[in-house]
Chain A
């Protein structure tokens, strides 16, 4: 199994596309990698594209929340984009509302959100 998700660095932003069914350690690794990369690059924004993700459970939801809080502490904004409708419906029923996580419909709208102010 894959042991790392690549992080792209573009001008002031870090971009991540999650394309695999993440096992728990892989999700935690991404959380660590993003945190060190934000502080190493001084990036102001993180965009996480989850349009290929076919499910988000409480573990992945928690990791996305941790990444958002951690980036906020490091003065960067995180936006999660592209959640599939079936995933969103399931998340709500599961009881996970992803509080404090910025979301956008797609990459373009997410970039727009990050580029503001």
Chain B
């Protein structure tokens, strides 16, 4: 599957969460996603970038523009070298939090995108890939 464009952006401070939102918005607008789909992608990215910062201790967000036949995809990947998630199924449940959140971010982000893939190894880190197609 050809990648037409990609960009990596670090997330190490709270302001970087805002930059991730702005960048995902910019890419989604350029790729002519509907306003609702733009908003869903930006919101999912905001949740996952915050998790990456708070629980993962910071990391990187990678954006990719994909083409598969006649459809275009916006892929956003969140990679950290933090403590990892011991029980992914539990973490995805609405209402589960190990901090003081509402436990909505992970499960909510999954509902907001088309493809959601999560890999996590305890002691090594977490990598989440989200994709939306149009």
Contacts and interface: CB of A to CB of B under 8 A. Distances in A.
A95 B18 contact: no
B96 to A, nearest CB: 12
B63 interface: no
Interface stretch (B1-9, B41-49, B65-73, B78-86): B41-49
Interface in A17-73: 21-25, 54-59, 61-62
Contacts of A95: 94, 104, 107-108, 111
B15 A93 contact: no
Interface in B87-134: 94, 101-102, 104-105, 107-109, 111-112
Contacts, number: 71
A87 B109 CA distance: 14
The main secondary structure of chain B at its interface with chain A is helix
Contacts of A84: 39
Given A21-B18, A24-B14, A57 B43 contact: yes
Contacts of B18: 1, 21-23
Contact of A90 (B21, B43, B94, B104): B43
